[in-house]
Structures are given as structure tokens and as C-alpha cells.
Amino acid sequence: MAYSVRTLKRRRRRRRRSVRVPYLTLLAWMCIFAAGYATLAPGSTGSGAHAKLALCERPRQHDCVVDGDTIRFGGSTIRIEDIDAPETGEPKCASEGRLGRRATLRLLELVNVGPFVVVYTGGRDADVYGRKLRRIERDGRSLGDTLVAEGLARPWNGARRSWC
């Protein structure tokens, strides 16, 4: 069966397009993954990020504040390594729950003010729960330091202490 030159050219173009679309889609996903990972990789100081975060309401929600010392951002759960904030999930007393709620809302406010940087400072990459241990900074200052200065968190010394 003989085909015209025009028909053959049309078939070649379709074949090229069918290969090109999945390749470009894969390339786009790799770029998105690399951009998100660059802010979290060990040895990286991160890059300025500005995303509007919300309060976490669902288990797998992205770009949200979990509590006063934990956020989900860039596909990872990040524990602010230099502070300890009161628990909100299972507080030991009512005052811890109230203070934890205030710390959570303040952290939400702080990250939504403007661009911030996720910084790996060395040491452990993750905690026992798999959360990335990072500092969150704006203009070279840790947002955790702000929470500590306002009495909503305390410096992390490696040991859990009661908030009650």
C-alpha cells in the first residue's frame, strides 16, 4: 500500500508530538520537585519562598502550619529545630492548649508576612517522627527567635519539659 508524501509527513509529526508531550511533562515535574527539594536538602541554605500557608486541617494538606513549631512546606514536614512550642494536639493541661493555639496562630502570621528561607544548619537531618529539622528565617533572623521573645515558645535544649 503506497502512501502519499503528505500522509507520511503527517504521521511523522504525530509520532514526534506523542513522544514530546510525556517527555515535557516529566521534565516539568522534575523541575518542580528539584525546586521544592532545594530548600530542604542537607547542606543547602534554601531559597526565598513565599507561599500563603493556612492552618493544617487535613492529614495530608500541603503548605500549612501544624502547630507552633511545625509546618508542612515544599512537600515536607518541617520541625523548627531551635524552639519548643506547647502542644496543641494532646496538651497536658488547658493552659498548654491555649498557649499552643496562640503559638500556632502567631507562627501562621509570621510565615505569611513575606518571603522566608528554610535553612539546614547541619547536624541531624530529621527527627524521630521523620520531620525535617530546619530553621525558618527572614532577613537572617529565625522566626523561632520571635516566638521565644514573645513567650510563645522556648529555646529547644534537647529535652521535653512541661508547659503546665
Point out the residues that are catalytic.
79, 87, 131
Amino acid at 157: N
Please check whether residue 115 is in contact with residue 36, taking contact to mean a CB–CB distance below 8 angstroms. Answer: no
Q: Which residues contact 42 (CB under 8 A, 6 or more apart)?
A: 120, 125
DSSP assignment, residue 127? Answer: -
The cell for 137 is: 528565617
Phi and psi angles of residue 8, each rounded to the nearest 5 degrees, phi first: -65, -40
Which has the closest alpha carbon to 143: 65, 38, 42? 65
Please check whether residue 156 is in contact with residue 81, taking contact to mean a CB–CB distance below 8 angstroms. Answer: yes
